[in-house]
Amino acid sequence: MHFADDETFALDLDRDDPLRGFRTEFVLPRGADGAPVRYFCGNSLGPQPRAAAAMLEEETAAWGALALGGHFKEDRPWYTYQEPFRGPLGRVVGAGPDEVVVMNSLTVNLHLLLATFYRPTRERFRILMEDPAFPSDLYAVKSQVRHHGLDPDDALIRVAPPEGETAVRIEDIEAVLDQVGATIAVVLIGGVNFLTGQWFDMERITAAGHRAGCTVGFDLAHGAGNVPLRLHDWDVDFAAWCSYKYLNGGPGATAGAFIHRRLASDTALPRLAGWWGNDPARRFRLQLEPEFEPRASADGWQVSNPSVFAMAPLHASLDQFDRAGMERLRTKSVRLTGYLEFLIREKLGERAVVTTPSDPAARGCQLSLRLAEGARETQEALQTRGFVCDFREPDTLRIAPAPLYNSFHDVWALAGVLAGGAGVTPAGE
């Protein structure tokens, strides 16, 4: 797409944007002057959908009025509270309703999934990850390795970008799998890298892992709600994600997990069990059913009853995704991020290095910038001007224009301030 760096061009793009109405469905933070900020930090915490408050109020009112009876109320009974999310969440990640479940937090879900899928043997005991991986993933994997009495220095393989580059090459991942794949039990990659914003070719990695006999999983904290996913069709074995970033589910929102149908239906797979993963027909027989009988779906990995207050806002958020559709969101996202990259290169030149791949097929919403100097000070200055993005040590700004609530004018204004411009117009409601 051809871009121009004048304000009129940005306003024209917004006028023709079929998704522009969704911006009004969010409560955007306000700055010290009371004006709404331009929010580019959905890669850390998405803003609040306006309808989320009503969802929470409905459940707190039911708690007061019904107490235990809330589990069996007519609308959204707590006993089955997680089940209505299956359809819309499956549409976001490209999975069947039986392959997804809303439960726990991301890292807890990774531990539960690794308890099933990381069963090291003398021959296959390694885990393959990207470098850098998100620290919580790294901590979880190292602890799993140690739990099995192994040494992470031997059992963990990390594939980093080549010297002088910022993206991991898929060819390097494939080469490792070709060379030592017979020793690798699990491939666990962040589908969209938290630092660089690189979107890995997940289908290609899955196929390479399977050729080597490995189980393949993904952390989709930065992928779910950001990029179109086809987890079932790509034959991914398992995945987990949080719901508070691009899914806008609120701080500490209940996370999600995917287990491919060919695996989820296998009730003989070992797992860390809890009563909510039990067959619902037997769940409340309690002391009469001392043996765990898992449900033959992703629900069989649940351990506890649903955290209703941490799930309630997802009704509002996933309704937005259903109405917008991932394909339309992706179309706008490619344009937004492409426009931001164009403006940065035009206005900042060599003062900024974009570390996110330029190929739209290899990135989502986020652009990561390395600034020649003063990255932290730049982020703080942006904050005082009403632009929210984040800083990662030692020198990286992460900027994530999200198509549900960011506009092309937001992007144009941000680039102007980054370049030292003055007097940009307000963000508006």
CATH of the domain at 78: 3.40.640.10
**Quick one: 126 and 175 in the same domain?**
yes
Is 85 a member of any domain?
yes
Is 423 a member of any domain?
no
Tally the domains of the chain.
2
> Higher-confidence residue: 424 or 245?
245
**Quick one: 216 and 351 in the same domain?**
no
**Quick one: 404 and 296 in the same domain?**
no
Is 346 a member of any domain?
yes
Helix, strand or coil, per DSSP, at residue 139: helix
**Quick one: 291 and 259 in the same domain?**
yes
Backbone angles phi, psi at 408, to 5 degrees: -65, -30
**Quick one: 183 and 101 in the same domain?**
yes
Boundary-marking domain end, from 322, 357, 387: 322
- Residue 282 near residue 52 (C-beta atoms within 8 A): no
Mean pLDDT across 374-385: 90
> Higher-confidence residue: 144 or 2?
144
**Quick one: 29 and 109 in the same domain?**
no
Angle of the 326-348 helix axis to the 408-418 helix axis, nearest 10: 20
- Residue 269 near residue 246 (C-beta atoms within 8 A): no
Place 168 in a pLDDT band, splitting at 50, 70 and 90: very high
Strand ranges inside 222-354, DSSP E: 238-241, 256-259, 352-354
Is 314 a member of any domain?
yes
> Which pTM does this prediction carry?
0.95
Q: What is the C-alpha radius of gyration for the chain, rounded to an integer number of angstroms? A: 22
* pLDDT (tens digit per residue) in 360-372: 999 999 999 998 7
Is 381 a member of any domain?
yes
Is 78 a residue whose pLDDT tops 70?
A: yes
The single residue listed with the structure tokens 């930065």 is 222
- Residue 137 near residue 145 (C-beta atoms within 8 A): no
Tell me the sheet residues that pair with 352.
Answer: 371
Return the pLDDT at 127: 98
**Quick one: 38 and 104 in the same domain?**
no
Place 351 in a pLDDT band, splitting at 50, 70 and 90: confident
Residue 12's domain comprises 7-49+325-418
**Quick one: 39 and 72 in the same domain?**
no
Is 420 a residue whose pLDDT tops 90?
A: no
Place 290 in a pLDDT band, splitting at 50, 70 and 90: confident
Peptide linkage before 394 cis (omega within 30 of 0): yes
Is 426 a residue whose pLDDT tops 60?
A: no
Is 376 a residue whose pLDDT tops 50?
A: yes
**Quick one: 243 and 392 in the same domain?**
no
Query: Rounded distance, CA 141 to CA 152, Å?
Result: 8
Token pair recorded at residue 188: 């666990």
* pLDDT (tens digit per residue) in 5-56: 999 999 999 999 999 999 999 999 998 889 899 999 999 999 999 999 999 9
- Residue 275 near residue 283 (C-beta atoms within 8 A): yes
**Whose CA is closest to 364, among 190, 218, 193, 197?**
197
Return the pLDDT at 119: 98
Distant-in-sequence, close-in-space partners of 84: CB < 8 Å, separation ≥ 6: 76, 315
Boundary-marking domain end, from 322, 346, 366: 322
**Quick one: 298 and 385 in the same domain?**
no
The single residue listed with the structure tokens 């955290």 is 307
Mean of per-residue pLDDT scores for the chain: 95
Is 262 a residue whose pLDDT tops 80?
A: yes
Return the pLDDT at 279: 87
Query: Rounded distance, CA 346 to CA 41, Å?
Result: 23
- Residue 365 near residue 339 (C-beta atoms within 8 A): no
Is 266 a residue whose pLDDT tops 70?
A: yes
Is 1 a member of any domain?
no
Boundary-marking domain end, from 301, 322, 343: 322
**Quick one: 191 and 284 in the same domain?**
yes
Query: Rounded distance, CA 32 to CA 21, Å?
Result: 26
Is 183 a member of any domain?
yes
Mean pLDDT across 147-158: 98
Is 427 a member of any domain?
no
Which helix (H) or strand (E) is 150 found in, with range?
A: none
**Whose CA is closest to 50, among 292, 316, 381, 255?**
316
**Quick one: 372 and 223 in the same domain?**
no
